[in-house]
Structure 1
Amino acid sequence: MTPEAKARQRIDQKLEQAGWAVQDLKKINLSASLGVAVREYPTDTGPADYVLFVNREPVGVIEAKADNTILTFVEDQTDRYARSVLKWQVKAAPLPFLYESTGQIIHFTDGRDPAPRAREIFHFFKPEQIAEWLNQQDSFRRRLCEQMPELPTRNLRDCQIGAVTGLEKSLALNKPRALVHMATGAGKTFTAITSVYRLLKYGGAKRILFLVDTRNLGKQAHQEFMAYTPPDDARKFTELYNVQRLNGPAIDPAAKVCISTIQRMYSILSGEPIDDSAEDISLFDVQQADRQAKMMRYNPAVPVETFDVIIIDECHRSIYNLWKQVLDYFDAFLVGLTATPDKRTFGFFSENIVAEYTYEQSVADGVNVGYDVYEIETEITRKGAEVKAREWVDHRDRQTRKKRWAEAEEGVLYNGKELDKSVVNPSQIRKVIQAMKTAVETEIFPSRTETPKTLIFAKTDSHADDIIQIVREVYNQGNAFCKKVTYKAEEDPDSILSSFRNDYNPRIAVTVDMIATGTDVKPLEVLLFMRDVRSRGYYEQMKGRGVRSLGHDDLKRVSNSADSAKSRFVLIDAVGVEKSLKTESRPLEKKPSVPLKDLMMGVALGHRDEDTLLSLANRLVRLAKELDDKALRRIEKKSDGVSVGMLGKALLTALDPDRIVEAAIAAAQARGITRTEETLTEDELTAARLQCVATACAPFDNPELRDEIETARREREQIIDHINLDQVTFTGFSAQAEERARKVIQTFTDYISRHKDEIQALGFFYQQPFRRRALTFEMIEELHDTLSRPPLLLTTERLWSAYARVKSSQVNGSDSKRQLTDLVALVRFAIGLDAELKPFRDQVDKRFQEWIFRHNARRTTAFTAEQTEWLRMMKDHISSSCCITRDDFDYAEFANKGGLQKAWGLFGKELDEVMDEMNGELVA
């Protein structure tokens, strides 16, 4: 095949996935589908590669090119075909929808836009979307350019007015990405909802996606949508537009706003299930290298045109790595909201900053409050300590918290960074908490009679537990005084958070990451950092929990002795977080295409570049979670007792700047030279790094260890044998399986016999034929729910399978997919109305053929071809719903072809009579 032929093959496939019928000119049939793509359609300037038809009318062209073609170079060619005269077509207007494609890359131009500009899209649009656009007077981008009215400024801050108007100006100029930089507390969500309302009402946006960082922030955003009242309408936003917070695998077609985490949206697009707990963890500072990015595939149920605008709250860093493909999938404007942009944020949004409102400006305007830093340093925090060998100490399991009293087997020298990880020192925690209590009561807020609302950032969930116990002890308070607000909290974290905001207790909350970003707690006046943070953006987000301003009355409601409005907050630094070097987080997987065995061999041969070491470390850490105990023990045996996870962790530790500094200082001391972090030379740091890396890489010199790791990895995979062919030696159900099937059938027949007078749907069958027009889908749903619940557990699939085992000669369609209405066929078969069990759809098809034959025989003129097509659609609806009514013409299969109005035009006053006949005859 030529490169262009291969491209056309891919284009054909993608068009068919999107619902287009692809045809050659000689076999053209424009009635075959709503959308038809005709290859090599002749024009007065030559044949176009594809001409697109919707509802039999030409609407666009596709110019197909081979891979590696620069598509911008062929835009003139596409435009020429769009303006050409199509053979056999009367209309001479230019076709509005233009594509260029290699099958891998697709460019699209909407000729109805004010300044038509090509944009890359993930996949072809569905013909239904093209039809919807054609029914609109203007394109979305033209409406954004020409129809957005002036913004009412009542109840809006100046920064919010600037953000909304700046964003609308950017959208009017058709800029695909825009960044709104607004300080924490300035009302980013309120500003975004104001824009969403205007985009829906005046811009005619089809649907908008509001992406959040965690499920908790999704709840918060949903509450703000429900509370929002637009300036030109007395009704709430959610009374005007449907807002769906995505918790399942489907998008409500009626939803105008969807609120979702990016993890949930990935799950919906890919079809992969999602663990709800994954949405509880902020992606702001989480590495995604522990899972391999899977290429996003087209999902016809969620086409690329599903959203017109995607608003990304907090612009979490995940959008730049693994999850970026979710944003690439949709043909939508991207709008970022953030208080803490970094270089990648500006780069991703093409430096199109439509609004900028800094923290300093917000403090000057009284939107936020300033802060003071109060430092607490302890000797052990600064220097560390040593647990000597043979000293009796507690040993505690990190997960179960179970303790044992035993001698230390060897001396343990630890520094401040290892506190609460490998070593817990209760005295260090107690001294910090006591110092905080004294400082707040005597220096920071000396006039207060109650402890100001305080948030403590802990390192881990275990660390949080230790802090809580010591806080209650130092303050001599009960359980209600200090609570943990993490995703692992025993109590509902949302209710604790609500109490922390609004009630007297808890006075102190301890968290790890749940309220580190985005969560609003306005009464906070003290932040205690007992963990360091390396990410500058994450640190700013954590500080942002304390910046919200609050009026005197609202503050007094939770802190009664407050004598004024909230005017500041105090950051208490117990770990040097304010001074520590802040860096941007980095993905660990740098060489995803290099096999594990090649990474290990590269290290063994002397490769010491950071990308190789990070990638190998990531693979080993991930492998440690996947292998069984037997494989792990085999590897440890070859590595002198070092686990595969520790091998990976050692590589990461060797690249840790803190460890390199420590090693450099230690090396200088060994040479009799006193060094600090500030006085180390570049050569000393380089030598220390080389030594740390060499030590971490040394185990991989052992070929037996490399082989064992590769063998363990390979054992987790399956061999697919295409060579050895099998043959059947016996078929049939086991005696036990058939006996179980008989019991299922007996339970079913007994139940419907006993309850025929209680359940409406059963009455329908027992009273044939007098009530045969009364069966509804709701009745079938009720019966199915009753049967499928415990203790019966008689699902449609289970019943059908039982009959297939016991009465196989009387059962058809066992291999077809079950639908709810198959319960009709099961009941009819069970009570003897039918001698054969076959899918309800097949029964309806057969009755439809018999009915339409009889009906045409009675009429002077038979149904027309168009009437027959509609009757078949009505028949299909009855197959899945048991009946059809006028209301059902609002469903997509009818609405896309004209709905009730079209049906009435075809059948006139006979429509109701025809529906009644079909409901009776096809379900009888």
Structure 2
Amino acid sequence: MTPETKARLLIDGKLEAAGWVVQDMKQLNLGAGPGVAVREYPTDTGPADYILFVDRSPVGVIEAKRDEAGANLSAHEGQTERYANATLKWRTGSTPLRFLYESTGQIIWFTDGADPAPRARELFHFFQPRTLADWASKPDTLRSRLTRMPPLPERNLRDCQIGAVTGLEKSLARNRPRALVHMATGAGKTFTAITSVYRLLKFGGAKRILFLVDTRNLGKQAHQEFMAYTPPDDGRKFTELYNVQRLSSIHIDPHAQVCISTIQRMYSILSGTELAEASEDISLNELGQADTQTRLVKYNPQVPIETFDFIVIDECHRSIYNLWKQVLDYFDAFLIGLTATPDKRTYGFFNENVVAEYSYEQSVVDGVNVGYDVYEIETEITAKGAELKAREWIDHRDRETRARRWAQTEEDTAYGATELDRSVVNPSQIRQVIQAMKTAVETHIFPHRKETPKTLIFAKTDSHADDIIRTVREIYGEGNAFCKKVTYRAGIDPETGKAVPGDDADSVLASFRNDYHPRIAVTVDMIATGTDVKPLEVLLFMRDVRSKGYYEQMKGRGVRSLDAESLKKVSNSADSAKTHFVLIDAVGVEKSLKTESRPLERKPGLSLDSLLKGVAIGARDEDTVLSLGNRLVRLAKQLDDKALAKIRQASGGIGLHDLARGLVQALDPDRVAADALDAARAAGITRSLDTLTAGELDAARQKRADAACAPFDNPALRELIESARRDREQLIDHLNLDSVTRSEYAAQAQANAEAAVGRFREFLETHRDEIAALGFFYAQPYSRRELTLEMIEDLHDALQRPPLMLTTEKLWSAYARVQESKVRGSGLRRQLTDLVSLVRFALGLDDELRPFADHVDKRFQDWVFRHNARRATAFTPEQMEWLRLVKDHIASSCRIEREDFDYAQLAGKGGLQKAWTVFDGQLDELLAEMNEELVA
């Protein structure tokens, strides 16, 4: 099949799916349907590839090109226009054809010749005949009407809302396909959006508008605001004028002018996947898309691409990227984003077309929100860490069940702030912070209050939150009602290890917002965004936040203004309206350079980490080898089957018990002597146990030790073993008592250190349109994104040339120096693919700089979990072994193709033929999924 033939078949299939009857000239029958596409229709300039007839009248033309021309379809626009203006054989009249397409079948470009300044745009699919008939019957086009919008009535609108609506309408009049409305929390983004929706329906003649959210609760809130909205030029409610549907099934009401839907539901409709019952209740931003299926959207004739003229995306910084971007690629609609916290990714997605920008600072000046002060608390252990000595008797607590055991520490353990409340819990540190907060609020921050102001504490983990709650109640001398945790998770009974029901999150939130109790709420991230608690006056950060946008959202919980009467209802001694809130920073979160300490160097020969590294660099002395063996024997008894299986896989099939046994037996004197005798006999030397020389024994001992230690050359295995116990247990440090070293209002935040990597960021911004690899991070439609190793090599070559002279190693080291708390894996040898992580970090797409292989590993785990969950049978051990090899190849090369099975470990396992058999002919499908999932 030639490329031209293949393109024609694809175009035919898509036309037929959209309701067109496709015919050759020999079978011409314009009565076969309302829409007929005739191939090779003769004109006075030659045969047109397709002429489109609607109700027997010619309305459009398609210029078909082979797939190789897809990247340059704009070069063929002149040819399409020539056919559109040509004289059609057997046709009377010379009016040019209005609707112009260029297509390869994979890519479709469309131009409406009736638009002001007609401009081509890319489509997911062809329009249906009835759509072109409807457009042709109207006196003007949507884009024409958008240039003639009447002035905006300013009654009941804030200045920032007026600016947002007028700015958006100016952008639409210029036919800008994407627009971003950046308005501070509390400024009325939804009210502004509804005002625009009303005007687009009434004056723009929009057929239908999609209001897209990422949680069911946000959809309910939006629906309530639509029902409450009264337009400035009409006394009736919005829902009395227009039909508003909150989508709860796959059926879109044909009479609805506004459709409110979660992006999850719209994705399920377009991809043909089932929608899990609870998938609309939690933001995709918080889930990280862990429970999604990676099926691509496909054309749905019941929901064609022309279903919506506009899509309003609420909280657009959260969930419109990666897999979910396909929903936006599908529809031929203007995209309008609403957010209070845009990041570089948001600006990039909306083509940097910011039509309104109303900052938090301006909202404070205008009285919409309140300002805040920063109060810093620093303790000795928070700043410098501490050390637990070996053989100290302390509690060891299971991270999941919180069950404790009393045991000695096995090694000296130094910990810094990054380990605090994760692998090590120091009750004194928590106690000192809470006591310092109580003292500061009562004596400096709100000295005249008789009750504790409404306070929200952000904890690191659910377990950390429990520790904080217990300490708060003790320090304040109050009961359970005083301090509550806000979470959807059930609690764990420490005696039985079973889940027990917790307080209802919604009722706790309602009480926190409206009632006297609780005075203090503790959460991890459930109410970090999207939840108003206007009486909130104190925010205590006991966790660091690496995402700037997320941090701004968390601060936003305290910015809402509140009148004196409403504040007094929940805080009786408040004598005025809410004037400000206080952010108490106990972890350095307000500073651009976090104050979290890196883990301290461990003393050589004592920690498990040091023992592992010692044998990796060649230590074969008896103390090191036997000590490591003994540590692993103990560790093997503590780990669960899942952790042991990971270690077995990383070691090439040797279990942790066998690794430990090998070390202990390596230096067994009897076995050493037996090996020495065998070696002597093989060399033709007669020896007995009594006559073996010291040199022969040493050689045998060295050989045995080398063999037993060989598996630990693998850094991945060492890392798994070293972290396994700490991932499972927390050490409860009752021995190191903490003390507050500083408790005061913060001075101006220190200037950040981004200047050290400024050249790299400037290069990315300046050259992003010139370098192919950067297209991967910007506006490529989801279904066509593909990152190759060649693209990364091109980018690396550009960076390492003068005057930049930047290699991956140099850039990683630079970030490790200036943003130490955000950089992981600094001591590892860099791969070329780590440049992907550097670019994503520099562009603000990732909050931490981690090796590319780490991202691939995490995505692989998530993908396998989802894949197994939606099938009756999980992957077999043999299949998993192959999949891990594929994952490793993708980590080093960005993609995997069939021909890659001829190389390295894949070929050693049997190559493509063996893999094909193992996966029962489904290999290509799995490879396509992994290429998309593990790199996207």
TM above 0.5, yes or no, is yes
TM-score, normalising length from structure 1? 0.64
Contact persistence 1:241–1:255 (CA under 8 A): yes
| Deviation digits for residues 870-890 of structure 1 (CA, Å, limit 9, x no counterpart) | xxxxxxxxxxxxxxxxxxxxx
Aligned-pair CA distance for 1:250:
4.1
Partner of 1:38: 38
Distance in 2 (alpha carbons) for counterparts of 1:492 and 1:368: 29
Partner of 1:693: 828
Aligned-pair CA distance for 1:162:
0.5
Answer 1 or 2: higher relative contact order, Cα 8 Å, separation at least 6.
Answer: 2
Aligned-pair CA distance for 1:531:
0.7
| Deviation digits for residues 290-342 of structure 1 (CA, Å, limit 9, x no counterpart) | 98955433233322112211222232254343432222121111112222223
Instruction: Give the SS at the match of 1:693.
Output: coil
| Deviation digits for residues 546-599 of structure 1 (CA, Å, limit 9, x no counterpart) | 11122222222222222111111100001111124389xxxxxxxxxxxxxxxx
Partner of 1:488: 489
Please tell me the root mean square deviation across aligned C-alpha atoms, in Å: 3.9
- CA pair 188-426 structure 1, distance change in 2 beyond 3 A: same
1:86 maps onto 2:221 in alignment: no
1:564 maps onto 2:580 in alignment: no
Distance in 2 (alpha carbons) for counterparts of 1:719 and 1:254: 51
- CA pair 423-239 structure 1, distance change in 2 beyond 3 A: farther
1:538 maps onto 2:550 in alignment: yes
Aligned-pair CA distance for 1:693:
0.7
1:259 maps onto 2:260 in alignment: yes
The 10-residue stretch of structure 1 (540-549 or 267-276) with the greater mean CA deviation from structure 2: 267-276
Contact persistence 2:465–2:485 (CA under 8 A): yes
Aligned-pair CA distance for 1:189:
1.5
| Superposed counterparts of 1:305-454, under 5 Å | 305-316=306-317, 318-454=319-455
| Superposed counterparts of 1:151-162, under 5 Å | 151-162=152-163
| Deviation digits for residues 519-538 of structure 1 (CA, Å, limit 9, x no counterpart) | 32222211111110111121
| Superposed counterparts of 1:35-434, under 5 Å | 35-69=35-69, 70-146=72-148, 148-284=149-285, 294-316=295-317, 318-434=319-435
Q: What amino acid does structure 2 have at the position aligned with 1:84?
A: A
Contact persistence 2:651–2:717 (CA under 8 A): no
Instruction: Give the SS at the match of 1:68.
Output: helix
| Superposed counterparts of 1:482-561, under 5 Å | 482-488=483-489, 490-561=502-573
Partner of 2:742: none
Contact persistence 1:534–1:580 (CA under 8 A): no
Instruction: Give the SS at the match of 1:253.
Output: coil
Distance in 2 (alpha carbons) for counterparts of 1:572 and 1:171: 43
Partner of 1:807: none
Aligned-pair CA distance for 1:629:
8.3
| Deviation digits for residues 427-446 of structure 1 (CA, Å, limit 9, x no counterpart) | 32222222212211221111
Q: What amino acid does structure 2 have at the position aligned with 1:337?
A: L
Distance in 1 (alpha carbons) for counterparts of 2:715 and 2:557: 36
- CA pair 452-413 structure 1, distance change in 2 beyond 3 A: same
Distance in 2 (alpha carbons) for counterparts of 1:628 and 1:387: 28
Contact persistence 2:647–2:721 (CA under 8 A): no
Contact persistence 2:271–2:296 (CA under 8 A): no
Contact persistence 2:317–2:343 (CA under 8 A): no
Partner of 1:858: none
| Superposed counterparts of 1:707-746, under 5 Å | 709-710=881-882, 719=918
Instruction: Give the SS at the match of 2:827.
Output: helix
Partner of 1:834: none
Aligned-pair CA distance for 1:630:
8.9
| Deviation digits for residues 353-411 of structure 1 (CA, Å, limit 9, x no counterpart) | 21121222111111111110011112222222233334333333323333333443444
Instruction: Give the SS at the match of 1:265.
Output: helix
| Deviation digits for residues 606-628 of structure 1 (CA, Å, limit 9, x no counterpart) | xxxxxxxxxxxxxxxxxxxxx98
Distance in 1 (alpha carbons) for counterparts of 2:425 and 2:528: 23
Q: What amino acid does structure 1 have at the position aligned with 2:96?
A: P
Instruction: Give the SS at the match of 1:517.
Output: coil
Instruction: Give the SS at the match of 1:372.
Output: strand
Q: What amino acid does structure 2 have at the position aligned with 1:117?
A: R
Contact persistence 1:213–1:316 (CA under 8 A): no
Distance in 1 (alpha carbons) for counterparts of 2:187 and 2:827: 46
Aligned-pair CA distance for 1:713:
6.5
Instruction: Give the SS at the match of 2:418.
Output: helix
Distance in 2 (alpha carbons) for counterparts of 1:479 and 1:83: 79
TM-score, normalising length from structure 2? 0.64
Aligned residue pair count: 651
Distance in 2 (alpha carbons) for counterparts of 1:721 and 1:257: 47
Distance in 1 (alpha carbons) for counterparts of 2:398 and 2:255: 51
Aligned-pair CA distance for 1:171:
0.5
Distance in 2 (alpha carbons) for counterparts of 1:201 and 1:216: 28
Partner of 1:9: 9
Contact persistence 1:123–1:298 (CA under 8 A): yes
- CA pair 684-7 structure 1, distance change in 2 beyond 3 A: closer
Distance in 2 (alpha carbons) for counterparts of 1:240 and 1:650: 63
| Deviation digits for residues 59-102 of structure 1 (CA, Å, limit 9, x no counterpart) | 21111112232222222222232233333334543222111111
Partner of 1:730: none
- CA pair 684-89 structure 1, distance change in 2 beyond 3 A: closer
Distance in 1 (alpha carbons) for counterparts of 2:293 and 2:310: 28
- CA pair 87-694 structure 1, distance change in 2 beyond 3 A: closer
Which is greater in Rg?
1
Distance in 2 (alpha carbons) for counterparts of 1:81 and 1:398: 70
Distance in 2 (alpha carbons) for counterparts of 1:133 and 1:684: 55
| Deviation digits for residues 659-714 of structure 1 (CA, Å, limit 9, x no counterpart) | xxxxxxxxxxxxxxxxxx99xx98995799997215999x99xxxx9999447668
- CA pair 389-264 structure 1, distance change in 2 beyond 3 A: farther
| Deviation digits for residues 488-515 of structure 1 (CA, Å, limit 9, x no counterpart) | 2634433332332233333222222222
| Deviation digits for residues 43-68 of structure 1 (CA, Å, limit 9, x no counterpart) | 33322211112233222111111223
- CA pair 577-721 structure 1, distance change in 2 beyond 3 A: closer
| Deviation digits for residues 209-261 of structure 1 (CA, Å, limit 9, x no counterpart) | 22334443333333322322222233332333333334444434333323333
Distance in 2 (alpha carbons) for counterparts of 1:653 and 1:383: 23
- CA pair 455-352 structure 1, distance change in 2 beyond 3 A: same
Q: What amino acid does structure 1 have at the position aligned with 2:376?
A: E
Q: What amino acid does structure 2 have at the position aligned with 1:635?
A: Q
- CA pair 707-283 structure 1, distance change in 2 beyond 3 A: closer
Aligned-pair CA distance for 1:118:
0.9
- CA pair 683-254 structure 1, distance change in 2 beyond 3 A: closer
Contact persistence 1:533–1:582 (CA under 8 A): no
Contact persistence 2:648–2:655 (CA under 8 A): no
1:23 maps onto 2:23 in alignment: yes
Contact persistence 1:282–1:514 (CA under 8 A): no
Aligned-pair CA distance for 1:125:
1.2
Instruction: Give the SS at the match of 2:582.
Output: strand
Q: What amino acid does structure 2 have at the position aligned with 1:264?
A: R
Partner of 2:623: none
Contact persistence 1:217–1:519 (CA under 8 A): no
User: Percent identity between the aligned chains?
Assistant: 71
Instruction: Give the SS at the match of 1:455.
Output: strand
| Deviation digits for residues 703-727 of structure 1 (CA, Å, limit 9, x no counterpart) | xx9999447668999746689xxxx
- CA pair 564-280 structure 1, distance change in 2 beyond 3 A: same
Partner of 2:608: none
Contact persistence 1:468–1:484 (CA under 8 A): yes
Instruction: Give the SS at the match of 2:424.
Output: coil
- CA pair 420-719 structure 1, distance change in 2 beyond 3 A: same
Aligned-pair CA distance for 1:637:
5.2
| Deviation digits for residues 803-826 of structure 1 (CA, Å, limit 9, x no counterpart) | xxxxxxxxxxxxxxxxxxxxxxxx
